[in-house]
């Protein structure tokens, strides 16, 4: 800074510790440091909220910088500008003197400029015989140079935050559109499912979107909408797969009815019926005298489930989508106590914990085996964790699990809404506890 001493304001304007701190900061400019005044001004505009200045104050700063003689601000070229109020008002788009003084005070309080007042409060410069400025009184832009790195960093962060908000808003808009049209398609096609409940959940999410939102406000809403969209897509995909299976089985049945029955006897010697399959065929009330029943192996009754209208591929239940382990543990933190060593680090740990909890809840091994076959082991363990989290709200965990397994086979159950409800419930509990 050009003055090597503390300078206080003229007249009745008080001195403050903030002004003193700004003067000390202005004296820490690194030797040879330079910045383009207009690039620096643009950075200040980007970082305006973080710096705590108004748009009118920036208009005044813009006018002040027009009085700086060079494009680059540096100590070698001086850091003081000394326009009169009349000149400054003209370049500030005709701002009135009272408004001008108010916004100059805002710039001083924000630590962007300093006052270097003369003994009589006038702004002027003393020049030597060669015409060079020896001492000047007016406004110092030294804080801009001293805080250049900070200002540029704040501007970069502001740009990144704005871009993140834009991208988040776009994704949220697309997600809202997808959910709305997928629900409409499901209702039009008559897809089975709790579409009234899903629509209510969607409307509740929409109601939580604030008018003026930050990226931090929208991120959790986007996550929940993404889960809801994934569940809807999962339900529709299961419907598509069911239709394909029904169509394939109709073609197979039609082919069998039109086949030459003599060929059955030709193939019979090469087919060996297992004992369990034979028993299943003998016990089937629909079994007829035709030898065709012995050509079609029956599935074991232990936990394998068939889709409505035809048999599923052995060992594969109706595919529910598995969710990230982190989301499951966030929704169901109680399951952590039953993991190996009191923690859960992977899906194997969760499935081990689910076996322990299953026994504790009184769920029979056969009910859990059917759930694993119908939902998949990971999803069955997730449902056990959800049942544990809901605690006393479920009177018969075993019956509840069997009901969910049957609903899964019919394509009427989705894990996502259950997890989302528990995540919200845990979030509300945490907020009330804090």
- For range 314-331, the mean pLDDT: 70
- pLDDT of amino acid 121: 67
Instruction: Report d(CA 17, CA 4) in Å as an integer.
Output: 18
- pLDDT of amino acid 1: 40
pLDDT digits (tens, 9 = 90+) for 103-125: 998 998 888 888 887 766 677 67
3-state secondary structure the chain: CCCCCCCCCCCCCCCCHHHHHHHHHHCCCCCCCCEEHHHHHHHHHHCHHHHCCCHHHHHHHHHHHHCCCCCEECHHHCCEECCCHHHHHHHCCCCCHHHHHHHHHHHHHCCCCEEECCCCCCCEEEECCCCCEEEEEEEECHHHHHCHHHHHHHHHHHHHHHHHHHHHHHHHHHHHHHHHHHHHHHHHHCCCCCHHHHHHHHHHHHHCCCCCCCHHHHHHHHHHHHHHHHHHHHHHHHHHHHHHHHHHHHHHHHHHHHCCCHHHHHHHHHCCCCHHHHHHHHHCCCCCCCHHHHHCCCCCCCCCCCCCCCCCCCCCCCCCCCCCHHHHHHHCHHHHHHCHHHCCCCHHHHHHHHHHHHHHHCCCHHHHHHHHHHHCHHHHHHHHHHHHHHHHHCCCHHHHHHHHHHHHHCCCCCHHHHHHHHHHHHHHHHHHHC
pLDDT digits (tens, 9 = 90+) for 301-317: 333 333 333 333 333 34
Identify the weakest region by mean pLDDT among 27-31, 135-139, 258-262. 258-262
- For range 178-194, the mean pLDDT: 89
- pLDDT of amino acid 390: 84
* pLDDT above 90 (res 38): yes
* pLDDT above 50 (res 319): yes
Of residues 121 and 323, which shows the higher confidence score? Answer: 323
* pLDDT above 50 (res 161): yes
- pLDDT of amino acid 278: 38
Of residues 197 and 242, which shows the higher confidence score? Answer: 197
- pLDDT of amino acid 67: 92
* pLDDT above 50 (res 143): yes
Identify the weakest region by mean pLDDT among 59-63, 196-200, 422-426. 422-426
């Amino acid at each position: 800074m050009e003055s090597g001493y503390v300078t206080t304001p003229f007249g009745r304007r008080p001195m403050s510790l903030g002004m003193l701190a700004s003067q000390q900061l202005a004296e820490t400019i690194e030797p040879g440091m330079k910045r383009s005044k207009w690039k620096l001004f643009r950075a200040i505009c980007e970082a305006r909220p973080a710096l705590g200045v108004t748009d009118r104050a920036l208009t005044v700063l813009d006018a002040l910088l027009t009085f700086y003689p060079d494009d680059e601000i540096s100590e070698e070229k001086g850091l003081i500008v000394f326009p009169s109020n009349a000149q400054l008002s003209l370049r500030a788009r005709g701002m009135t003197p009272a408004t001008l003084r108010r916004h100059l005070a805002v710039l001083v309080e924000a630590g962007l400029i300093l006052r270097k007042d003369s003994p009589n409060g006038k702004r002027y410069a003393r020049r030597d015989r060669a015409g060079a400025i020896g001492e000047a009184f007016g406004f110092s832009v030294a804080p801009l140079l001293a805080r250049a790195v900070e200002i540029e960093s704040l501007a970069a962060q502001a740009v990144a935050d704005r871009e993140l908000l834009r991208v988040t808003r776009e994704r949220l808009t697309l997600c809202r559109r997808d959910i709305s049209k997928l629900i409409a398609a499901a209702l039009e096609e008559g897809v089975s499912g709790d579409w009234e409940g899903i629509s209510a959940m969607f409307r509740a999410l929409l109601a939580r979107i604030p008018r003026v939102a930050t990226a931090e406000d929208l991120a959790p809403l986007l996550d929940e909408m993404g889960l809801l969209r994934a569940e809807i897509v999962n339900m529709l995909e299961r419907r598509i797969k069911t239709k394909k299976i029904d169509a394939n089985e109709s073609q197979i049945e039609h082919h069998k009815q039109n086949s030459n029955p003599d060929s059955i006897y030709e193939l019979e010697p090469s087919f060996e019926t297992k004992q369990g399959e034979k028993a299943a065929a003998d016990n089937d009330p629909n079994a007829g005298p035709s030898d065709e029943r012995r050509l079609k192996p029956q599935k074991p009754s232990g936990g394998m489930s068939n889709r409505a209208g035809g048999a599923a591929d052995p060992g594969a239940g109706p595919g529910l989508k598995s969710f990230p382990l982190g989301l499951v543990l966030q929704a169901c933190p109680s399951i952590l106590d039953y993991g190996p060593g009191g923690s859960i680090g992977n899906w194997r740990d969760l499935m081990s914990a689910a076996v322990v909890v299953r026994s504790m809840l009184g769920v029979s091994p056969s009910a859990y085996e059917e759930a694993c076959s119908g939902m998949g082991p990971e999803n069955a363990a997730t449902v056990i964790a959800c049942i544990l989290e809901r605690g006393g709200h479920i009177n018969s965990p075993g019956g509840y699990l069997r009901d969910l397994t049957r609903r899964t086979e019919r394509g009427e159950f989705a894990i996502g809404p259950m997890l989302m409800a528990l995540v919200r419930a845990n979030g509300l509990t945490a907020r009330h506890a804090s």
